[in-house]
Amino acid sequence: MSTAPADSTVRPPAADPTPIVALSGLSIAYRQGGQLVPAVEDVDLAVAPGETVAVVGESGSGKTTTASAILGLLPAGGVVTAGHIEIAGTDVTAAPERVLRALRGTVVGLVPQDPMVGLNPTMRLGTQVAEAVRRRGVDRRRAPAEALEALERAGVDQPVMRARQYPHELSGGLRQRVLIAIAIAGRPRLLVADEPTSALDVTVQRRILDHLAGLVADSGTALLIITHDLGVAADRADRVVVMRRGRIVEQGAPAQILLRPREQYTRHLLEVAPALSHAGRVVPAHAEAPPAPEVLRLDAVGKDFRLPRGGAERVFRALDEISLSVRAGQTLGLVGESGSGKTTALRIAMGLEQPTRGRVLLDGTDITGAGWSTLRPLRRRFQLVHQNPYSSLDPRFTVAQSIAEPLVSYRVGDRASRAARVRELLDQVALPAAHAGRRPAELSGGQRQRVAIARALALSPELVFLDEPVSALDVSVQDQILSLLLRLQNELGVGYLFISHDLAVVAQLAHHVAVLRAGRIVESGPAAAVLSAPTREHTRELLGAVPGQRFAAELAAAATPGATPGAPRKEG
């Protein structure tokens, strides 16, 4: 597969004696309620000129705080409590704002996290890039031309037109490229890229990371990538630094981290990362899909949205004649990038939206035009788990109230039997019974998603719709939830319609896979066939964009023969 963009030979340690950035024994804490809560502890890290270093960690690992400290842009309340930050040989730990400012943009540049909010909404893009150009001391009249050049180098098409546009007129991927243009416009010696692509689709992510890698290789700029994705880190970096709870756990060449991890935590990360755990490839968990009766069927369903007046086209075709079927006790994985129509398909299947064309059949009964009250008795049989566990639970409800709500709505049982059912469900989703009285604010993201799953299971449905149920969660939590879903399917025989943008995640659950693009089904069939031998270009592109494939061959060779891919792991 044509994946590894950076050359896979690890460069020798930099010959230059002065690294651009050197952190020694750095500790950072946040002031909270008169106390100092440590965020980063005793971190040693150096980036040599021209080197690409990746810092990997889950949320709360202190990786973003470290990046902010390098730029001297710690959020309010952040204090360096110990250690030193050296930039290009000078100690800037306690340097005044004036000194730090001189370094920003010209020595250290930043590619920020979320392209949707990283650009000033009321300023033309060209002006925003020119501001960075001017920092190099470029003349006011020359700045616009150099800004165009920076946009072009960042891979922005039609830079002249884009320079006159405002951020809201651009897609996320293009905005990220503009942010890269801003970062390179000052010709810095080090680029700090803070999760530069995690808000973007995988294929866009891959193109942007490729471009970034090319840029730094051409100009000899050093690159510090902050990421939650070990695959991205291993693919792109000369050196990988694994962080956890503010400390560096392990660092080394990517091959060493991936193939011979020394630390337990690194091994754990490798194990739970869907792509990395399967020798760097997307391997379906269910090698075959035994025949099973069909529960839900979407028959040539289409959906048009009317666009606001003024546009060239009056109608946006979100779905174009798609047909899907979900089988009892099995999982249909529906994969697509943003805007592919996968959420619309789910909402139509759920009866939350009406299709423009086609039929929705539940057990052979046409439920297409059914109103809420006619659908209500049927709803007991199919339930929904939302994408974001932070908004799908009423903050005022206790866990027990949330789980029991469908039972109350359908007047199932009395108070005592509902309480018993809640206890049973809590047990099924592996939450302690003591959590029944807690409120969502007291739970972690993974625990909330368990509650949401328990709620969906309360009425013992035949089918559960899963709308990106793990995309808001950390990798290790993600793995726990996926294992839980797998176990529940085995125990309860429930069918899933699983929606995701991530093929590697879908592979862990799906019996059948359908790949959606621009409202059409590009390819569908048994998971084993679609994922192992894709016939369509788009599927291949999606598979190829899954990060972590740089050492696929080595990983495959090193994989222990006994490990069965996709087997449910023990829940943590």
Partner 1 sequence: MARYLAGRFAQALLVLWAAYTVVFVILHVLPSDPITLQLSAGGADISQLTPAALHDLKARYGLNDPVGVQYVHALWHALHGDFGMSLTQNVSVGSLIADKLPSTLELTAVSLPLMLVGGFGLAHLAVFVRWRPARTLLARLPAVGVSLPQFFVGLLLIQLFSFSLSWFPATGSSGWRSLVLPAVTMSLIGASMLAQLLTRSFDDTWREAYIVTAQAKGLSRGTVQRRHVLRNACLPALTLLGILLGYTVTNSVVVEAVFSRNGIGQLTQQAVLGQDVPVVQAIVLIAAAGFVLANLLVDLLYSLLDPRVAHAAGTG
Partner 2 sequence: MPDNLVSADVAADPDLVLDVLAAPPAGAAPGRGAPASAAAVTTVTTPVAPASASTISGGGGPRRRLAAGTPLGRLVRRPGFVLAAVFVAFVIVSGLVPSLFTSYGPSATSPADKLRGPSTTHLFGTDELGRDLFSRVLHGSTLTIKATGGAVLIAIVAGLAIGVISGFCGGWVDGLLMRVVDVLLAIPILLMALTIVTALGFGLVPMAVAVATGIAPGFARTTRAEVLRVRSQAYVEAARTGGASWGRVLLRHVLPNSWGPVGVLAVLDFGTAVLLISSLSFLGFGTPPPAAEWGTLIAGGRNYLITSPWLALLPGLFVGLVVFSLNHVARSLEEVQR
Which residues contribute to the site for partner 2 (CB under 8 A)? 31-35, 37, 77, 350, 352, 372, 376, 379-380, 383-384, 386-388, 391-397, 405-406, 409-410, 452, 455, 458-459
What would the two tokens of residue 175 be? 């905005």
Q: How many residues bind partner 1, per CB under 8 A?
A: 36
Q: What is the 3-state secondary structure (H, E, C) of 474-534?
A: CHHHHHHHHHHHHHHHHHHCCEEEEEECCHHHHHCCCCEEEEEECCEEEEEEEHHHHHHCC
The nearer residue to partner 1, 160 or 563, going by C-beta atoms, is 160
Question: Where does 241-328 have alpha helices with state H?
Answer: 254-259, 264-272
What's the min distance (Å) between Cβ of 401 and partner 2?
9
Residue 352 touches which of partner 2, partner 1, none (Cβ within 5-8 Å per kind): partner 2
From 471, 201, 466, select the one nearest 339 (Cα to Cα).
201
Q: What gap in Å lies between CA 527 and CA 539, rounded to an integer?
A: 12
Residue 395 touches which of partner 2, partner 1, none (Cβ within 5-8 Å per kind): partner 2
Residue 571 identity:
E
Residue 33 touches which of partner 1, partner 2, none (Cβ within 5-8 Å per kind): partner 2
For the packed helices 399-409 and 415-428, what is the interaxial angle rounded to 10 degrees?
120
Question: Where does 380-444 have alpha helices with state H?
Answer: 399-409, 415-428
The nearer residue to partner 2, 283 or 399, going by C-beta atoms, is 399
Q: Is 311 in the site for partner 1 (CB under 8 A)?
A: yes
The nearer residue to partner 2, 7 or 394, going by C-beta atoms, is 394
Q: Is 101 in the site for partner 1 (CB under 8 A)?
A: yes
Q: Is 314 in the site for partner 1 (CB under 8 A)?
A: no
From 474, 454, 467, select the one nearest 496 (Cα to Cα).
467
Task: Give the footprint of partner 1 on residues 132-171 (CB under 8 A).
Answer: 132, 135, 166, 168-169
CA 314 to chain centre: 33
Contact characters 182-221, partner 1, x per CB under 8 A: xx--x-----------------------------------
Of the listed pieces 123-131, 146-154, 261-269, 367-375, which binds partner 1 according to CB under 8 A?
Answer: 123-131
Q: What gap in Å lies between CA 386 and CA 389, rounded to an integer?
A: 7
Residue 508 touches which of partner 2, partner 1, none (Cβ within 5-8 Å per kind): none
Q: What gap in Å lies between CA 73 and CA 402, rounded to an integer?
A: 41
The nearer residue to partner 1, 74 or 361, going by C-beta atoms, is 74
CA 98 to chain centre: 36
What's the min distance (Å) between Cβ of 71 and partner 1?
6
Residue 371 touches which of partner 1, partner 2, none (Cβ within 5-8 Å per kind): none
Residue 560 touches which of partner 1, partner 2, none (Cβ within 5-8 Å per kind): none
Residue 386 touches which of partner 1, partner 2, none (Cβ within 5-8 Å per kind): partner 2
β-pair partners for 243: 248
The nearer residue to partner 1, 107 or 492, going by C-beta atoms, is 107
Q: What gap in Å lies between CA 307 and CA 558, rounded to an integer?
A: 53
Residue 119 touches which of partner 1, partner 2, none (Cβ within 5-8 Å per kind): partner 1
- DSSP for 318-350? EEEEEEEEEETT-EEEEEE-TTSSHHHHHHHHT
What's the min distance (Å) between Cβ of 148 and partner 1?
17
Q: What gap in Å lies between CA 569 and CA 572, rounded to an integer?
A: 9
Q: Is 103 in the site for partner 1 (CB under 8 A)?
A: yes
The nearer residue to partner 2, 33 or 137, going by C-beta atoms, is 33
Residue 570 touches which of partner 1, partner 2, none (Cβ within 5-8 Å per kind): none
The nearer residue to partner 2, 402 or 549, going by C-beta atoms, is 402
Of the listed pieces 50-58, 176-184, 286-294, 394-402, which binds partner 1 according to CB under 8 A?
Answer: 176-184
Residue 391 touches which of partner 2, partner 1, none (Cβ within 5-8 Å per kind): partner 2
Q: What gap in Å lies between CA 336 and CA 304, rounded to an integer?
A: 18
What's the min distance (Å) between Cβ of 435 and partner 1?
33
Q: What gap in Å lies between CA 475 and CA 273, rounded to an integer?
A: 6
Cβ–Cβ under 8 Å, residues 49 and 16: yes
What's the min distance (Å) between Cβ of 469 and partner 2?
12
Of the listed pieces 124-132, 197-205, 295-303, 401-409, which binds partner 1 according to CB under 8 A?
Answer: 124-132
Residue 290 CB-density burial (10 A; 0-12 exposed, 13-18 middle, 19+ buried): exposed
Q: Is 354 left (phi over 0), alpha (psi -120 to 50) or beta?
A: beta
Q: Which residues bind partner 1 (CB under 8 A)?
A: 71, 73, 97, 101-106, 109-110, 112-114, 117-123, 128, 131-132, 135, 166, 168-169, 179, 182-183, 186, 308-311
